Amino acid sequence: MATFWRPGMMPIQLLLTIGVTFLIFVIGHTFIKKTFGRGLPMLAQGALTWLAAFTIFKFVISPPIPSSLLYIYMGLITLVIGLFISANEVSWTESKKPIVDTLIGATPLHRGVRAVAFIALPLGFGWGTYTSIAPPKNFPEPPELRTVHPAPPQAIKVQDKQFTLQTSKNPFRVDVKGEYLDVGKEKEFFASNPFDPNAEGYVKYVKEGGEVFFRNCHFCHGDNLDGRGMFAFAFRPIPANLADPGTIAQLQETFVFWRISKGGMNAPREINPWDSAMPPWEEHLKIDDIWKVALFEYWHTEFFPRTWD
Ligand code: HEC
């Protein structure tokens, strides 16, 4: 039996369980009829059916069904039982009689039942509600500490373009000859003047990145990139202080590209328990603008991105 009732046999298992239960019902009912001269009242049949269904769905079926599904099933079953009981005048009158008798207190016994029910029902509902929403005893602190710089994924997809973080480079960190400005070229990078109207290469891109920054980011990250923008203190955590040696200075440029693209919303779970308000800029900026604003942030703070080695 045990091997037969294993998970993964849902439909067969369900049919069998229902079949067996139905058989027990029929045999039991015939037995009661034979012994007492009359069958169970409709209401009792309905209640038994309801209980049997609940037991099967809640405790027998495996793998267990989600509770939302259980509520749907039980709702449907309640409806069907109600329809069945009220299908004809005789059974309806018979079924509602005990309920009406209890409500109006027809006999001392009914009055007793009514008194108990009127006390027990509110208490029961109150207890059920309380236990379902009360925090568990010894409520634990969130176990994870906040990881400010979560581990980046191997590769990311930004606007349908695939980026391997280890090998990607900022396409705008290139000098006039198109050569990538690697470690060792810091001086050249910071000495540039983006206000020069004839600026070319990365100097021009720094300027364009600055435009992106002052159009989108300074409200939060501040004019000086110090995380003290005018909206900054409405957020928890407050926006990153990009001028602090602990933020972008510690990071590879592709990591920064990743964080700007995905924002707080699409960051990995470790960045919780507080959700950062950093918007996912891939939904608002072009890929080029994200690279350029990263370039600008490094230029303005005079940090050089960390390299992979
Ligand atoms: C609504 C406010 C808001 C705006 C607008 C905003 N940011 Fe942020 N930003 C944040 C918050 C909050 C964080 C997360 C701080 C933290 O995790 O401690 C953050 C984090 C960052 C980080 C990650 C720094 C790190 O150390 O990992 C970068 C990079 C960044 N923002 C760049 C930008 C850029 C570029 C823009 C504009 C295109 C921008 N932000 C616009 C609020 C904002």
Distance, in Å, from the CA atom of 98 to the CA atom of 82, rounded to the nearest integer, reads 15
69 touches 112 (CB < 8 A): no
Distance, in Å, from the CA atom of 271 to the CA atom of 304, rounded to the nearest integer, reads 24
Distance, in Å, from the CA atom of 155 to the CA atom of 163, rounded to the nearest integer, reads 5
Q: Which residue CA neighbors atom 21 of ligand 1 most closely?
A: 240
Q: Which residues pair with 178 in a beta bridge?
A: none
Neighbouring CB atoms inside 10 A of 192's CB total 18
Neighbouring CB atoms inside 10 A of 58's CB total 14
Average pLDDT for consecutive 10-residue bins of the chain (309 residues)? 51 81 90 87 89 88 84 95 91 89 92 94 95 75 65 86 88 86 81 81 90 93 91 85 88 90 79 75 93 93 82
What's the confidence (pLDDT) of residue 1? 44
Cα 253 to ligand 1 centre (Å): 14
Cα 278 to ligand 1 centre (Å): 5
239 touches 224 (CB < 8 A): no
Cα 180 to ligand 1 centre (Å): 26
For ligand 1, mutation pick of 278, 285, 298 (most atoms within 8 Å of CB): 278
Domain enclosing residue 100, as ranges: 10-104
Q: Report how many domains make up the chain.
A: 2
Distance, in Å, from the CA atom of 202 to the CA atom of 161, rounded to the nearest integer, reads 23
Asked if residue 242 is part of any domain, the answer here is yes
Q: Tell which atom from ligand 1 comes closest to the C-alpha of 216.
A: 37
Residues 198 and 283 both lie in one domain: yes
Residues 44 and 176 both lie in one domain: no
For ligand 1, mutation pick of 148, 214, 220 (most atoms within 8 Å of CB): 220
Is the pTM of the predicted complex or chain greater than 0.85?
A: no
Residues 93 and 160 both lie in one domain: no
Residues 160 and 295 both lie in one domain: yes
Residues contacting residue 42 through CB under 8 Å, at least 6 positions apart: 85, 91, 94, 95
Residues 67 and 197 both lie in one domain: no
CB-count burial class (<10 Å; 0-12, 13-18, 19+) for 254: buried
Q: Tell which atom from ligand 1 comes closest to the C-alpha of 148.
A: 17
Residues 206 and 98 both lie in one domain: no
User: Which own/partner contact pairs does 125-131 have at CB distance under 8 Å and 24+ positions apart?
Assistant: none
DSSP assignment letter at 60: I
271 touches 145 (CB < 8 A): no
Q: Tell which atom from ligand 1 comes closest to the C-alpha of 212.
A: 38
Residues 64 and 169 both lie in one domain: no
Q: What backbone phi and psi angles, to 5 degrees, belong to 188?
A: -60, -40
Task: Please give all residues whose beta carbon lies within 6 A of any atom in ligand 1, as ranges.
Answer: 148-149, 216-217, 219-221, 235, 237, 239-240, 247-248, 256, 259-260, 264, 276-279, 281, 293
Asked if residue 236 is part of any domain, the answer here is yes
Residues 264 and 183 both lie in one domain: yes
What's the confidence (pLDDT) of residue 63? 74
